[in-house]
């Protein structure tokens, strides 16, 4: 590969472009252009919203609610056929687009609400926009050798195997906002106008990828992050100062292979390391294996690491194998460290072709029935995600684990009141999967929002936790759920749930504000809904 790379670098860019134009044939993947999953355009200037249904609560805080998600720039060129084999983009590879709703008050105390959307202006986004056609060859899904060649050609042409998409999350630290995706540094965003300010490397101290879900430590305000990589070091953990200017701690956790770990947890004293067998790496393609693949017969473990510890200081606990992307929260409870997250058995990320995945998706997203004829544990219900709890006893070294909610309801993308990150909390919120609608296209749709009461037993099954549901209307799906705490609130759930929703029947996007203490109620005066300024344009993406 090194010799081939050197040889190809000697070839002019023009010849390489002509080679690709002659060898590759690009086409559309229809499922990436359907409904609310399809790309939208930047609307330009900020648009003021005056079409309100209900009233914004008087004590709702001023600020901005930002949703990040993938938005393809050249949606008709997301699949490629070549002499090397087929490759394609995943839905999760579109360029990052930010959707912002601004809440401010006039001098008279009247609400002024506006909307703006904008692409995250990464270096590779600018490259594709100038070319006005696809630049990076699709490589995430497809046959192994075709994937390898695509990675190689992208690296020779652009210096990196895949584009910087910055499309997975947006997080705040030290009063600054950052758009992030796992494979590169986050990009700082000016929230006043959504202008991209540039990559954030902590003044040159951080040169690794950056998780989409770093955790801020209650009290100190420090930020714990991590980066996973196909090359050594495969897993690096960092602690960033509360002012965002210094890297206080950086340590290689000595992983022996590339693992695509999506989330990290913190407690008052510890960092929580999730380790599950979602393998990724270029060497896999040489061995004719998918670039990304989860091993359902593999081993999972969870590590408890002192805040400023090293690889040798981690206490590892073997747990039942899983592939869980998102955590509610972690905290210490006596001798135990408690981790709560949404557990799945398999990964929605896989570099197998979309056609191959689609053959199984109808069963993977549905509630598994172990008594049904033809039940296959490697397929059925493997993407049916449910709230789960791991209890790790630091004194005895033992583990207790199990599901927290009803086996009939799938949910994911958990959030909590962020004032309780790392400490014991009573409430968690999550997006509820419409399993049938999701199974039909292989992309998640969420038709309810759940409020999980960790401190309350379910009335019918005392082994489970009580759950309230906020039900959306037919063919309406939510995305980007967040909890907004009430200023000077007393209880943990003093606040609101805010989310984008999209009505597939009318093709209108809205924002809902839901009182967390009156969670299951129908629309009330304290719930905001606003229509998009142009019903033909969808102002949110579903991820």
136/25 Cα distance (integer angstroms): 13
Secondary structure string (H, E, C) spanning 140-187: CEECHHHHHHHHHHHHHHHCCCCCCCCCCEEEEECCEEEEECCCCCCE
Strand locations in 399-464, DSSP E?
Answer: 399-403, 411-415, 427-433, 446-457
Question: CB neighbours of 399 closer than 8 A, spacing ≥ 6?
Answer: 317, 318, 319, 390, 391, 392, 393
Edge-to-edge strands, sheet with 195-199: 169-173, 176-180, 187-190, 195-199
Name residue, tokens 């629309």. 523
Residue 495 near residue 485, CB atoms below 8 Å: yes
Phi, psi of 437 (to 5 degrees): -60, -35
Structure tokens at 269: 């004293």
187/179 Cα distance (integer angstroms): 5
322/333 Cα distance (integer angstroms): 24
Residue 89 near residue 31, CB atoms below 8 Å: no
Structural element, H or E, at residue 392: strand 386-393
* Radius of gyration, CA atoms only, the chain: 23
Residue 72 near residue 39, CB atoms below 8 Å: yes
**Cα distances (angstroms) measured from residue 384 to each of 342, 345, 365, 543:** 10, 8, 5, 16
Question: CB neighbours of 241 closer than 8 A, spacing ≥ 6?
Answer: 222, 247, 248
Answer yes or no: is 262 a known binding residue. Answer: yes
Residue 260 near residue 182, CB atoms below 8 Å: yes
Helices and strands (DSSP H and E) totals, the chain: 7, 33
Answer yes or no: is 530 a known binding residue. Answer: no
Answer yes or no: is 453 a known binding residue. Answer: no
279/58 Cα distance (integer angstroms): 49
Binding site membership for Fe cation: which residues? Answer: 213, 262, 326
Binding site membership: which residues? Answer: 213, 262, 326
């Amino acid at each position: 590969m090194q010799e081939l790379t050197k040889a190809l670098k000697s070839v002019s860019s023009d010849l390489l472009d002509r080679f690709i134009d002659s060898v590759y044939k690009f086409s559309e993947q229809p499922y990436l252009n359907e409904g609310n999953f399809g790309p939208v355009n930047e609307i330009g200037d900020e648009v003021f919203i005056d079409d309100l249904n209900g009233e914004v609560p008087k004590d709702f805080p001023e600020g901005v609610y930002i949703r990040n998600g993938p938005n393809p720039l050249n949606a008709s060129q997301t699949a490629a056929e070549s002499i090397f084999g087929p490759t394609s983009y995943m839905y999760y590879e579109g360029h990052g687009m930010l959707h912002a709703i601004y809440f401010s008050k006039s001098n008279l105390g009247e609400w002024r609400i506006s909307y703006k959307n904008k692409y995250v202006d990464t270096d590779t986004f600018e490259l594709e926009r100038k070319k006005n056609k696809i630049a990076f060859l699709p490589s995430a899904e497809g046959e192994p050798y075709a994937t390898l060649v695509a990675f190689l050609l992208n690296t020779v042409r652009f210096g990196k195997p895949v584009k910087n998409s910055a499309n997975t999350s947006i997080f705040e630290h030290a009063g600054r906002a950052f758009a992030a995706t796992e494979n590169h540094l986050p990009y700082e965003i000016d929230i006043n106008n959504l202008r991209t300010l540039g990559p954030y490397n902590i003044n040159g101290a951080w040169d690794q990828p950056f998780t989409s879900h770093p955790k801020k430590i209650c009290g100190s305000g420090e930020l714990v992050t991590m980066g996973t990589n196909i090359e050594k070091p495969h897993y690096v953990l960092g602690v960033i100062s509360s002012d965002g200017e210094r890297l206080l701690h950086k340590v290689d956790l000595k992983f022996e292979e590339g693992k695509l770990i999506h989330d990290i947890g913190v407690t008052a004293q510890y960092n929580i390391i999730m380790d599950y067998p979602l393998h990724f790496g270029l060497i896999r393609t040489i061995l004719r294996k998918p670039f990304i693949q989860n091993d359902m017969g593999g081993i999972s473990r969870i590590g408890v690491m002192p805040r400023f510890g090293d690889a040798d200081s981690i206490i590892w606990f073997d747990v039942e194998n899983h592939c869980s992307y998102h955590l509610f929260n972690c905290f210490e409870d006596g001798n135990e460290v408690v981790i709560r997250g949404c557990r799945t058995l398999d990964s929605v990320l896989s570099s197998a072709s979309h056609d191959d995945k689609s053959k199984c998706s109808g069963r993977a997203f549905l509630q598994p029935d172990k008594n049904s004829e033809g039940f296959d544990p490697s397929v059925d219900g493997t993407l049916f995600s449910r709230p789960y709890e791991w209890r790790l006893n630091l004194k005895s070294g033992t583990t207790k684990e199990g599901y927290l909610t009803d086996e009939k309801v799938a949910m994911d993308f958990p959030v909590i009141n962020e004032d309780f990150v790392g400490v014991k909390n009573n409430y968690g919120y999550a997006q509820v999967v419409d399993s049938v609608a999701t199974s039909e296209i292989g992309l998640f749709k969420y038709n309810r929002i759940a409020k999980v009461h960790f401190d309350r037993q379910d009335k019918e099954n005392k082994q489970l936790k009580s759950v309230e549901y906020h039900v959306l209307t037919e063919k309406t799906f939510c995305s980007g759920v967040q909890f907004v705490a009430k200023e000077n609130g007393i209880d943990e759930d003093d606040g609101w749930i805010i989310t984008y929703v999209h009505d597939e029947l009318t093709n209108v996007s809205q924002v809902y504000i839901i009182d967390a203490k009156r969670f299951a109620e129908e629309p009330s005066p304290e719930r905001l809904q606003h229509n998009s300024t142009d019903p033909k344009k969808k102002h949110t993406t579903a991820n």
